[in-house]
Structure formats: C-alpha cells, structure tokens
C-alpha cells in the first residue's frame, strides 16, 4: 500500500467504553493550544525562535488544512468532553514514516492511561492502517518521565538521545527519539511474469518494465557497518581528531557511538551529512571508570572489550538479551591471561560483567576463532597498545610474559573461518597507521597462523571515507537472477575491503555476469535465464548464507552451502532458522554440522519468522519478490544494520 496522505479520518474507535477519536475542528485548535502552551508567547523549536500564540495557531491550522498534519481530538465518551489531542506530522512518504505526538489536558481523568490508548489507536489503526506507514517516530523531552513511560507502554522503542534538540522556555533541551514499527509486512511481489519472461513483460508494458529496470540499475546502500564500527574504534585510539564520512547510522553503530561517548571522548555527530568526528587521546582513555551498553552489536561487544581489557580502569559491560546469548568466552579467557580481572554477573563467559584492565601481562596470546573472527580482529586492534617487556634475562631464567616475537605483540590463531574480516581489520589498521603482519609455520603437519604487531606504532587521526555496505548490496544483487533484471549498486567494487563482495563471484558461478564499472559493479542475469545450482564454501562471507539460501529454491539444481557451522551462534541459530523457514514455505532442505543443502521448488506464501535476526528479515524478503502473499514478522529488526531496507524495497517494487 502506497502512503496516502489524503486518507480519510478514522472511524470512531472505542477503547474500554471510554474514549474515541474524531478529526480536529477549527474550534478545537485554540483549546488545544491552551493545553500545550500556557504563556501567550512560546518558543517553537521547529522555527528555533519565539513565536506568538496567533502565529502558532496559524501554523497548525494551515498544516491541518493542507494535510501536512493529521490531528485528532480524544473525546471522553461518557461526557463527550474533549480531553486531549494526538497527531501525525512531518511525513516522509519515501520512507513510509511520520512523527506522532500527544498532548492532554492536565485535568483529563486518568490522562496517561487514556493517552496511551489514544496513541495506540492513532498509530496502529490510522497510521499503519489507513495511511500505510511502516514506522512512526516520536520525540519526547528527556526529562519528561511520564511521556516516556506512555510511549514505552504502547510499544515504542527507545532509539537514541538527541542533545539540544528542543528550544523551550528560552533554553535547549535534550529529546529521546522513539520508534514504533509494524509487526509484519507483506512483501510487494514483482510478479511471476516479470521473472519468467522479461521480454513478454516489456512487450505488454514496455514503459513499466523499463522504469523498473532503470531503478534497479542505480541502487544505493548505506555505509558499511563493519567498516563504520572499526573506523570509530581506530579513530578513538588515534591521536587527534578524525572525521569519518559516509557513516552508517544503525542500531549497531548507535550502540558503538553511545559507548564511545560513555568513555568520555569528544564526539560530534552529523546524521544528515552522515559524518562523525572523534577526538582520540593516542590510546589513552578519557575515563578510567564507566558503564557501557553494547546493545546487540558484536563489533562493539568484542572490540571494546578487548581494548578495555588491556587498558587501565574498571568498566561495567552490559548488552541486549540477544548479545547475552552470543559467545564471548574465548576472548575473555585471553584477556584474563593478559592480566584482566573479570567479575561475571551471570553465566561465566557471557554478558554482563565488570572488566578491570591492567595492561599487557604477556607479550603473546592464543585465540580460538571457531565461534567468531571478531575475537581475533579485536585483539589485533588492541595489540597496537602493547609495549615491549623489560626482560634482561635469557634462556631458562627468562620471566613469564616475555615469550613471543621480540619485535612485537604476537597473537596465535586457532581456526580459520571469517578470514576476510581479519583482512579487513588488518587493512584498516594499516590505513590508520599501524601495521600487523601474518606469519605461517608448519607444526606437525598442521598450518599454524600468527599475527605480529610491531611495537612503537600508533593510530593516526585522519579524514576517512567509509565504503557502501557490501552486505546490504548483496540483497539487491541477489534480485538480479531472481527477477532477471540488471543491478548496479553505487560504490561497490571488487577491490573492496569487505569480504561480502565475494557473493557477487558466487552469483557469477550461478550464471550471472559481472562488470566492475566506474559507478559500481553491474551484474547481469544469466543469458539463458537459468540460475544454476552449486556447492560453495561460504566461511569467508557467511553473512550471505541466508541470502543465497533465499534464492536457492529458484535454481535448476540443488544448492549446497558449506563451512558455516559458526552461524548457529550469531543473532539466531541461522542454520536452523534457514531450514525451518524454507520448510515452512514448502522447500526441502538437508542440514549437517556446518552445511545446508537446498533443493529446487516453488515456495508458497506464508508468514516468515525472523527470530529477531536482521539478516533473516532482509534475506527472506527476496522470496516475496517472486512469491505472492509472503509476509515477514518483525521486519524492522533490520534496523540493526539497515533501517531503511524495507522502505527502499517498497520504493523499488510496489506498484
């Protein structure tokens, strides 16, 4: 459903036999303004200047009349008394969202309870229903505890603090941004004909087919999550101010930004320009005691824990429930061996815990990356802070902790998966001025890998451009063979820092053709129209295992994905989730310890469970482009990395 700002007013809705909504009238506006602003002159924070009562009245009346604001009065059913007003404004049709608000008379009976019911009706019945919104946001004054509780009661999720956002009573106030999301979305089906015979569609509706193709040729995605959070950490550890451009603002990066701020760093954020400036302290911490909340961000959880674990201070670390289930033990064991003290509040090896760092008690460490390559990446960045040990003795008398390479801190690696992300970390460290080198040796017929970071290096401040997210781009590239349309994503090239660009090579093996152009990689569908089945090891780009699984049923032979056992320990048990949801759609699968095989078939429309996993939501949405009536539950769990994915999807395909 396209967002229709001219949608009619809602029917009268009764809640608990006490209230209903009706459209606001001319006579209501003065009354409502009296509830909102007792003084005759107010500071309007949209204009950022004082305006009179009459000016504000005219401002509201004009916007209500022109449909820029939809306002409804809350009426007490028993007495027909108007007691409050709720509204939607600041529409963003291209993003299927608007801002909602509420204000009530101070004398309204049980005002907060009625307000909560009214906001719920406004958003779910009118906003999500009649207007077709995907998302409603609300800005609430930070000090207004009652209003915050009201929004949380009806399901709004706190997203971030916005400093100095509202200019009220002659001073700036902080606000908190809340978001309310649809519980499920039906994916706009591009149509079986579009996929089965592009030529016949073009003949039947040449203009529509050409328009669709042109939109797909020029897809843009936000900045890379992996690069954004690594760049924030490296800038934090640098000496001087770094300006990061093309920053991704997502749930994960907001969590990382919040942690950087909690540690006391000077931080300037410009979301409109997608820029962040961080003033680093050359590896020192502005605060040596802090409480950090990493949310569900694995990069924040692992990278910050490693750095703080070798720094001086005491840090309380907490996370979302989802992150509390994800592995941390190998990294925490390594930090304990280096001298950190860790006090767990729950199960050992998991969040939450208090971390007391004491520097580097050793000059080498081993890390098992079987569960996550982020453990190694985190230690590599932290290793730049190491100093050479003062070890004058040699031979058997050499003190513990002086082992390893005399030139630098050494990390010995157990396991091999996710090495593309390790290479990304090493390349970014080098871009910020710190070199680490990989060494390989044979030991009893086994290949052993270590990394040595030479002493005496430091991260330098700089202006840094963040690449577009290859992981996000992969969903659009997967549409190419699925819908038989060419796709080009701006700024995605084969020389990317990101390992997920390899997904395009996998699509080439399945019959697509890729050309790296100045604007970005152009992917063309198979000439014969057939997507080929393959066997592929995806240990280096496992985030795209779900994406490949989603298009696998449309291949001409089974698709077998190997080397992905570790994805059972990510935001969800992804191997189990893929199999369960494909079986729900009527597709046969087989699974093993680290592999899944998907057989060709015709999926049916159904409600897909996402398990709170952003990649399940985005990956399985692809099937809905070919299959009618496929719905995604909790679609906006994708805000973890790509908050605007479904808005972008609807803009491409909704007719």
Whether 368 is catalytic is no
- 340 torsion bin: left (phi>0), alpha (psi -120 to 50), beta (else): beta
- Which member of 194, 252, 543, 648 is catalytic? 543
Q: CB of 443 within 8 A of CB of 397?
A: no
Question: How far apart, in whole angstroms, are the C-alpha atoms of residue 72 and residue 21?
Answer: 6
Question: How far apart, in whole angstroms, are the C-alpha atoms of residue 456 and residue 305?
Answer: 22
Q: Cis peptide before 352, with omega less than 30 degrees from 0?
A: yes
Task: Return the DSSP state at 304.
Answer: I
Looking at the DSSP assignment, which residues form a beta bridge with residue 364?
A: 410
Residue with tokens 């400093």: 163
Task: Return the DSSP state at 312.
Answer: S
Q: DSSP readout, 344-411? A: ESSSTTSSSEEEEE---S-SEEEEE-SS-THHHHHHHHHHTT---------GGGPPTT--S-TTEEEE
SS3 421: helix
Question: How far apart, in whole angstroms, are the C-alpha atoms of residue 161 and residue 44?
Answer: 20
Question: How far apart, in whole angstroms, are the C-alpha atoms of residue 317 and residue 357?
Answer: 13
Token pair of 570 as six digits: 């990510």
Task: Let me know if 107 is exposed, middle or buried by CB neighbors in 10 A (0-12, 13-18, 19+).
Answer: exposed
Q: CB of 297 within 8 A of CB of 252?
A: yes
Q: CB of 248 within 8 A of CB of 254?
A: no
Question: How far apart, in whole angstroms, are the C-alpha atoms of residue 576 and residue 578?
Answer: 6
Among candidate residues 83, 72, 101, 78, the one with its CA nearest the CA of residue 31: 83
Token pair of 87 as six digits: 């509204």
Question: How far apart, in whole angstroms, are the C-alpha atoms of residue 157 and residue 159?
Answer: 6
Question: How far apart, in whole angstroms, are the C-alpha atoms of residue 243 and residue 204?
Answer: 51
Rounded (to 5) percent helix, strand, coil in the chain = 35, 25, 35
What lies within 8 Å, CB to CB, of 568 at 6+ separation is 574, 575, 576
Token pair of 196 as six digits: 């089965």
- Residue 556 phi/psi, 5-degree rounding, is -90, 0
Q: How far is CA 118 from the centre of its chain?
A: 30
Among candidate residues 155, 28, 124, 45, the one with its CA nearest the CA of residue 90: 45
Alpha-carbon distances, residue 283 vs 255, 311, 315, 365 (angstroms): 21, 9, 16, 20
State whether the Cα torsion 46-48-49-50 is positive or negative: positive
Query: Active-site residues: which are they?
Result: 543
């Amino acid at each position: 459903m396209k967002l229709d700002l001219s949608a009619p007013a809602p029917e009268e809705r009764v809640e608990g036999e006490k209230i209903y909504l009706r459209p606001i009238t001319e006579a209501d506006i003065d009354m409502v303004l009296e509830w909102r602003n007792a003084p005759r002159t107010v500071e309007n924070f949209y204009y950022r200047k004082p305006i009179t009562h009459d000016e504000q009245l005219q401002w509201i009346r004009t916007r209500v009349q022109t449909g820029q604001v939809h306002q409804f009065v809350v009426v007490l059913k028993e007495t027909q008394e108007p007691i409050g007003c709720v509204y939607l404004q600041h529409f963003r049709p291209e993003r299927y969202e608007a801002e909602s608000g509420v204000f009530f008379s101070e004398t309204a009976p049980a005002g907060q309870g009625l307000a909560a019911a009214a906001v719920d009706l406004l958003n779910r019945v009118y906003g999500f229903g009649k207007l077709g919104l995907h998302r409603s946001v609300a800005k609430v004054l930070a000090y207004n505890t009652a209003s915050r509780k009201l929004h949380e009661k009806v399901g709004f999720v706190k997203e971030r603090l916005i400093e100095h956002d509202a200019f009220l009573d002659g001073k700036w106030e902080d606000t908190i941004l809340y978001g309310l999301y649809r519980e499920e979305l039906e994916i706009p089906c591009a149509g079986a004909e579009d996929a089965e015979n592009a030529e016949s569609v073009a003949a039947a509706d040449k203009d529509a087919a050409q328009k669709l193709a042109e939109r797909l040729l020029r897809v843009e995605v936000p900045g890379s999550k992996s690069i954004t959070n690594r760049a924030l950490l490296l800038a934090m550890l640098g000496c001087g101010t770094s300006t990061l451009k093309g920053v991704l603002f997502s749930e994960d990066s907001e969590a990382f930004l919040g942690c950087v701020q909690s540690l006391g760093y000077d931080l300037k954020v410009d979301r409109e320009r997608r820029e962040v400036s961080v003033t680093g302290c050359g590896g020192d911490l502005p605060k040596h005691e802090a409480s950090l909340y990493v949310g569900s961000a694995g990069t924040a959880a692992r990278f910050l824990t490693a750095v703080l674990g070798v720094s001086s201070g005491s840090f309380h670390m907490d996370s979302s429930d989802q992150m509390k289930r994800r592995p941390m033990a190998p990294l925490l064991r390594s930090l304990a061996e280096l001298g950190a003290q860790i006090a767990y509040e729950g199960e050992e090896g998991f969040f939450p815990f208090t971390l007391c760092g004491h520097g580097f008690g050793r000059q080498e460490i081993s890390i098992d990356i079987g569960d996550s390559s982020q453990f190694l990446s985190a230690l590599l960045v932290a290793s730049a802070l190491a100093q050479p040990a003062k070890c004058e003795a040699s031979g058997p008398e050499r003190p513990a902790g002086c082992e390893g390479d005399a030139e630098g801190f050494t990390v010995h690696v157990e396991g091999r998966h996710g090495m593309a992300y390790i290479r990304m970390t090493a390349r970014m460290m080098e871009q910020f001025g710190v070199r680490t080198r990989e060494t390989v040796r044979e030991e009893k017929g086994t290949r052993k890998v270590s990394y040595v970071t030479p002493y005496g290096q430091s991260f330098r401040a700089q202006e840094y451009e963040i690449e577009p997210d290859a992981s996000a781009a992969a969903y659009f590239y997967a549409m190419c063979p699925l819908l038989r349309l060419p796709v080009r994503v701006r700024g995605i090239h084969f020389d990317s820092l990101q390992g997920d660009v390899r997904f395009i090579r996998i699509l080439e093996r399945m019959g697509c053709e890729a050309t790296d152009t100045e604007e970005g990689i152009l992917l063309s569908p198979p000439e014969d129209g057939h997507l080929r089945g393959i066997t592929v090891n995806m240990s280096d780009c496992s985030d795209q295992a779900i994406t490949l699984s989603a298009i696998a049923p449309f291949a001409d032979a089974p698709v077998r994905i190997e080397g992905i056992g570790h994805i059972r320990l990510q935001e969800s048990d992804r191997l189990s989730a893929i199999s369960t949801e494909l079986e729900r759609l009527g597709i046969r699968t087989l699974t093993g310890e680290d592999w899944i095989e998907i057989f060709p078939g015709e999926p049916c429309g159904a409600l897909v469970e996402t398990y709170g996993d952003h990649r399940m939501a985005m990956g399985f949405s692809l099937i809905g482009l070919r299959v009618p009536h496929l719905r995604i539950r909790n679609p906006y769990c994708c805000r973890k990395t790509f908050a605007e994915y479904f808005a972008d999807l609807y803009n491409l395909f909704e007719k």
